[in-house]
Each structure stands twice: as structure tokens, then as C-alpha cells.
Amino acid sequence: MELLPLWLCLGFHFLTLEWRNQSGMATAASQGGCELVDGGADCRGRNLEAVPADLPASSRRLLLDANPLGTLWNHSLGRYPALESLSLRGCRLERIGRAAFRGQARVRSLALPDNRLGESYRDAAAAFRGLRALRTLDLSGNALTEDMVAALLRPVASLESLALARNAIMRLDESVFEGLRRLRELDLQRNYIFEIEAGAFDGLAGLRRLNLAYNNLPCIVDFRLTQLRVLNVSYNALEWFLAAGGAAFQLETLDLSHNQLLFFPLLPGCGRLRTLLLRDNLLGFYARLDNASAPREAVAQFVLLDGNETRVRTVRLWDEAAAGDLGGLRVLDLSHNRFRYLPDGFLRAMPALARLSLRRNCLASLHFRPREPPAALAELDLSHNLLAELRVAPGLRGRLPGLRAFNLSSNRLAGVPAGLFAAAANLSAVDLSHNRIALCPAPRGRAACVDLRNAAALRSLALEGCGLPPLQEQALRGTALTHLDLSGNRGVLNGSVGALRAVAATLQVLALRNVGLGRGLPELDLTGFGSLRDLDLSGNALRAFPRLGGPALRRLDLRGNRLTALPRSAVAERLARGLRTVYLSQNPYDCCGLDGWAALQRLHAVADLAAVTCSLSSKVLRLAELPGGPPRDCRWERVDTGLLYLVLVLPSGLTLLVAGTVLSLTFRKPLLRLIKSRCRWPSVY
């Protein structure tokens, strides 16, 4: 007994009837509640209980989705003999009259998903006899069993595309798809299929795409669908995948992801495979395990029953060779598995490989050897492993010549081989986040460092959470970075952005979250960064709005700082001309320091407006609730402080002056007499 599943969502689609009002289509006035567009009628969601009878007889397309029809009556489509495309998605259909499609010889596409045709499938099968030109049929979501499907498909041998997703199919044999020799695409995803008998697809000589994802298949052995180009068996319970030997396969895309594979699949020896997806399995190589309980010559034997014929297939469990011809493979996804190492020569067998993902495995080291990784490799993802060492074969130059993106984040690296990045002439993106590294030149006390100097092609660099020591100005010399992330490295800039002068002119995206900016710094000056489009300064200790350069800035994040005031109106107006998104929440704003709020509010770019608050005395107010400026209670705080003190002190001063004069005149009589004599005042003495 053999199990056969496959398909990959890549490039795969079934023609569900959809209505697209493309440019150039003339739209007429609605008729009977339906919109007439370019030879068709769109009647979706009109609460119709029957097919409209007043549409143009020449209509070629009819959309009746989401109408409570219940039953498609006999001859209800007879008024539209030119019909080519009909969609009845979600119409609660329980019955289709046996003569419902009589006279519809031109219909090429029929969509009946999400109905209840399982209750009267024999009537529907009889109705299908009138669809002699049918090419595309969608019966998804109708609670159909394999016997119902066999009966429904018998009259439509002309099918080229068939969707049977979300039904109740459990087992397939040769009778289900009998006679569908023209079928090219078959979608069986999200059923309950646990067994596929040998020969179930033998009659489908033209089949090119097969989707068996989200089923319950336990294994696939002696796979021999040589005509397939794309096949998907993801989200099953596969423990084995073994292709038949000696056959010439046409397979180009194979998706075996999200299964329970323990050993690398035995692949078709065809040389046409381009994409192999093995994500989220239990895969590994086991020959180097010291505690392997099974002997190295251990084998597994599979007994294949095909009618009266019995065959035995033997597989060596510890064979590290990727069985099958992978010379044309371009995309390989091995992420979320249990690989502890890659065997010598494993990647050498894939000279055309362009994208390789080994994300979330258990790799402890990686050795660069001649032709391994292959020269064609453009994207390499080694993130979330246990890598503590990258090794390069002695004398190996020009390594990774085609590499453009290299992800080494979340490992245990302290450094990389000298010149690794500078020698990769096309390397434009590097992610070293969450490794305990330092950038060269190495600071005191650090033996290893990562040298990024003179990496001329480098444009994007991520160093988040690396515990970097203070950055030296020459660390990025010879690069033209446009994207830089230094987030989570407290003290990396030593309180200023001077260390970034080498890339200030080219940076477009700069992330400086939680790097300790603002401590002891009155104002952050970024006027030299004229090309910045995206700036993240969140999680720092900025007390003043930074000085920003150029009009290119589109996104600014200032959350979680210590800002008490927004920029004054003139500055805010200038920012408003370019900013599209700004984050301002989680700052201790003073409600009386919001001069620039009106300008920013008119911008409609404050993404976290509902969370921005300010303090007024002992109250906390939401800025969104303010009428358009500082509260009235701030009017006294707006008065000039010197004038306020003068007003408060002057009356007291005058009072003290008069009192002092009176006391002086009272207790100093000689002085009083002198004043009177000089002024010729009469004396009482």
C-alpha cells in the first residue's frame, strides 16, 4: 500500500470564481439589484432567494455568492444560454435540480464552495451531465465523502482544475478520479485522508499540481507520480518519504514541512527539483552521535503490497547522503529541525542552491570548505542555533562570492573569521544580533572581534542586543550603510552619535532603542544625518526634542524617554512637512509645554495619540482630549517670571520703605529740626 501526497502553495491556485472590475471595463446601471459589468452580472449578497430573471440574456458571467438560494431549480438558468462562468459560493444550496444546467453547454467554470451538496449529491451529479465544456470546478466545503465525490465527478471528464478542500474525504482509491485524464490541478487539503491506495492517481496522466496539505497521512513510500511538477504534503503526520527509484520525475517543488520526518527524505532522482521545503520536522544526521544505540549498518525495511504483488524496500538509516539528484535545487528550507551538524559534501551536491535556511536548529559550528556553501548561494540563515565558531578552510579565498544576505543572529559567536565580510563582494545585509561580539578594532580585553571595515557592498547591519562596548569611529569606515540597528546596546554611543559620522550621509533607517542616550547630554544633534527616513530613539533618557536634519524623515519614534515638552511651533511646523508617522507616548509631558502640539495634531501622524498623556498639577490628561492647546490653568505659568516677581515684591518693598522713613523721623529729632529749618516750617517748641 502506498501513500502519495503533495503540493506547495507556491504558485498554486484554483480558479474560484471572483469578480474583478478591471480598468477599462464599462459599468452599467444596476438592474434588479445586480451590477452589470462588461458582459456579466454581480449579484453577490443581495439576499436573493432565486436566480434573477431580468438580467441580459447575453450575460457571460454571473456571481450569486452569499445569497440564501437554498435550491437551484430546474431551468432557472435557461434564460442565459451564453453563460461561461457561474459562482454560487455560500448560497446554502442543499439541492440542485437535475435539469438546472440544461442548455448550459458553454459553462467552463463553476464554483459551488461552502454549500450543503452532500445531502443531495445524486441530483447534483445528474445536473452536471449538462456541463460538457466544464474546465474548472470548486466543490470545497460541502461535507462530501469519497463516494459522493466519485459520483459527482463521473459526468465531468473534461475537468482541468478541481478543488475538493474542506470536505470529509478519508480514503482514496482508483475509482474516485476515474476518467479525469485532462485534470492538471487537484486540491485535497484540509480533509481527513489517512490512506491512499496504490493506483489512486494512475488515471490522472496530465496532473501537474497536487495539494494534500492538512491531512493525516502517516508515510509516503514508493512514490511514483512522475508527472507532477508541484506537490504539497505539509501539515500531515509523515515519518517517511521514499520516492521510487529508476523513474524520470518532473517534480520541481516539494513541500514536506510541518511533519514528523526523522530522516532526510529519499528524493526522486530527476535533477529537476528546484524547491524543497522541510521546515518543522524532526530531521537530523546521526552518524556522528557517540551514543547512537543502533548499529551503523542498521536498516529499515518497508513491505509494499500492490494487489497480489509484494515488494520489499530497504533503507540504510545512517546514510548521510541526501539521496536523490539535487543538482538543480535553488531553495532549501531546513529550519526548525534538529540538525547538529552538516555532513561533509552535503551542500556540495547542490551547486545551484541560492537560498538556504537552517534557522532554529542545534548547529554548534560551521565549516566553510571549497565549493561549500556553493558559490550561487545568495541568502543564508543560520539564526537561532548554538553556533560558537565559524571556520574557513586554510587558503580559501573568495568565499561566499554570491552571498547577499547573511543572518547569524541569536547564536553564541564572539567573532567571525577575519575578512569574511569584506571578501563577500555582494554581501549587502548582515544580522549579528544577540551575539556577544565587539566590532574591530578590538577594545582592550577582547581577543576576538568582527571586522566590518571596508565591506563596500554592505547596506544593512543589525547588531541588536550584542552588549557592544563603546563604538569607535573607524569601526564602520569604508561602508555605505543605509540601515543600522544598534538597539539594546547601552553605552554603545557613549552618549552621542559622533561614532556614526562615517555613515551619517548614507543612513536612511537608524534604530537606537535603549542605548542610553540623553544621560548628561542637553540635546541630541542629528543635523548631519540628512538622508534619514526612519529614526527610532525609544527607550532612552532624552529630556529635549532632538535636533533633526533634512526633510527626508518620515517616521520618528520617541516613546519611553523623559520629554516634558514638544518642540516649539516653528520646529513642529517644519517637521510636519515630512513626517508621516510619529510615536510620542510614555513620556512625562507637562501640559503647559505643548506649544507645538497643534502643528503635530494637524499632521494626523501621531500613531499613538490615544496613549499620549501630560501632567497638570496632580492630574494626568490625555492630549487627545485637550481642546487644541494648553489648558487655561496654564495662563499664570505662561506669564514672564521676572515680571511676576516684580508684581509680588513691589508692594512689600514700598510698605517697608514708608515704615522705615516714619521710624527714622520719629526717633531722630535733630534731623527733624534740621529738615524743618531748611524748609522754614513753623515749630511747635
Over residues 394-414, the pLDDT tens digits come to 766 656 788 999 999 999 999
Q: Which residue has the higher pLDDT, 644 or 562?
A: 562
DSSP track, 122-154: HHHHHHGGG-TT--EEE-TTS---HHHHHHHHT
pLDDT over 60 (residue 388) = yes
Gap between the Cα atoms of 18 and 47, Å rounded? 18
Highest mean pLDDT, choosing among 172-186, 305-319, 489-503, 657-671: 172-186
Per-residue pLDDT band for 515 (boundaries 50, 70, 90) equals very high
75-87: pLDDT as tens digits: 999 999 999 999 9
Given this model, what pLDDT does residue 63 score? 96
Radius of gyration of the chain (CA): 38
Q: 363, 355, 414, 415: which is closest to 384 by C-alpha?
A: 363
pLDDT at 26 exceeding the cut of 50: no
Average pLDDT (518-533) is 84
Q: Which letter does DSSP use for residue 76 in this model? A: T
* Residue 315 in this model has a pLDDT that exceeds 80: no
User: What confidence category does residue 522 fall into, taking pLDDT thresholds of 50, 70 and 90?
Assistant: confident
> pLDDT tier at 609 (50, 70, 90 boundaries)?
confident
What does pTM read for this prediction? 0.83
Q: Residue 664: pLDDT band by 50, 70, 90 thresholds?
A: low
pLDDT confidence tier of residue 314, bands split at 50, 70 and 90 = low
Per the model's pLDDT, the better-predicted residue between 369 and 295 turns out to be: 369
What is the pairing mode between strands 299-306 and 241-243?
unpaired
Q: What is the distance between the alpha carbons of residues 87 and 109, in angstroms, rounded to a whole number? A: 8
Alpha carbon distances (Å) from 128 to 177, 206, 579: 15, 22, 59
Confidence at 16, pLDDT banded by 50, 70, 90: very low
Q: Is the pLDDT of residue 1 over 50?
A: no
Closest residue by Cα to residue 205 from 177, 227, 188 = 227
Which is nearest to 469 in space by CA: 442, 447, 496?
442
pLDDT recorded at residue 642: 63
Report the pLDDT value the prediction gives residue 80, as an integer from 0 to 100: 94
Q: Of residues 604 and 66, which shows the higher confidence score? A: 66
- Residue 322 banded pLDDT, cuts 50, 70, 90: low
Q: Which of 201-215, 543-557, 587-601 shows the lowest mean pLDDT across its residues? A: 587-601
Could you tell me which residues come within 8 angstroms of residue 586 by beta carbon, excluding any fewer than 6 positions away? 559, 560, 561, 611
pLDDT, residue 462, reads 97
Helices (H), 434-591: 569-576
Which tops the pLDDT comparison, 685 or 38?
38
pLDDT score of 14? 37
Residue 207 has pLDDT above 60, yes or no: yes
Asked if 255 and 8 count as a contact pair (C-beta separation under 8 A), the reply is yes
In this prediction, residue 626 has a pLDDT band, given cuts at 50, 70 and 90, of confident
pLDDT score at 525: 87
pLDDT over threshold 90, residue 496: no
Q: Is the pLDDT of residue 645 over 70?
A: no
Q: Which range among 53-57, 318-322, 477-481 shows the weakest confidence by mean pLDDT?
A: 318-322
- Give the integer Cα–Cα distance in Å for 176 and 195: 13
Q: How far apart are CA 122 and CA 124, in angstroms?
A: 5
| For residue 126, pLDDT beyond 80 | yes
SS3 623: helix
Residue with cell 445528474: 126
Here the cell at position 277 is 521545503
Bridge-partner residues for 332, per DSSP? 276, 356
Confidence of residue 420 (pLDDT cuts 50, 70, 90): confident
The most confident of 190-194, 316-320, 343-347, 552-556, by mean pLDDT: 190-194
Mean pLDDT score of the chain: 84
Q: Are 584 and 606 in contact (CB under 8 A)?
A: yes
Determine the pLDDT at residue 605: 79
Identify which has the larger pLDDT, 185 or 417. Answer: 185
Residue 324 pLDDT greater than 90, yes or no: no
> In angstroms, what CA-CA distances link 33 with 43, 67, 255?
7, 12, 45
Average pLDDT, integer, range 574-580: 73
Tell me the per-residue pLDDT of 29-51, one tens digit each, with 9 for 90 and over: 466 689 998 889 999 999 999 99
What's the confidence (pLDDT) of residue 565? 84
Q: How far is CA 337 from CA 231, 258, 284, 333, 385, in A?
A: 21, 10, 7, 10, 11
Cα–Cα distance for residue pair 625/596, rounded to 1 Å? 16
- What type of residue is 225? L
Residue 661 has pLDDT above 90, yes or no: no
Contact at 8 Å (CB) between 517 and 541? Answer: yes
Contact 453, 478 (CB under 8 A): yes
Q: Which residue has the higher pLDDT, 203 or 566?
A: 203
Mean pLDDT of 609-617: 87
* pLDDT for res 31: 62
- Would you state the pLDDT for residue 623? 81
- Tell me, what's the pLDDT at 325? 80
Q: At what angle do helices 641-667 and 669-679 cross, to 10 degrees?
A: 90
Q: Closest by alpha carbon to 192, among 166, 215, 173, 210?
A: 215
pLDDT given at position 591: 84
Q: C-alpha dihedral over 658, 664, 665, 668, to 10 degrees? A: 180
Least confident of 4-18, 330-344, 534-548, 649-663: 4-18
What pLDDT does residue 680 have?
Answer: 58
Using the predicted structure, report yes or no on whether residue 106 has a pLDDT greater than 70. yes
Grade residue 186 by pLDDT with cuts at 50, 70 and 90: very high
Asked if pLDDT for residue 510 goes beyond 70, the answer is yes
Asked whether the predicted pLDDT for residue 653 surpasses 50, the reply is yes
Is the pLDDT at 328 greater than 80? The verdict is yes
Give, in degrees to the nearest 5, the angle at Cα 353 between 351 and 358. Answer: 125
The whole-number pLDDT of residue 9 equals 36
Averaged pLDDT for residues 282-301: 63
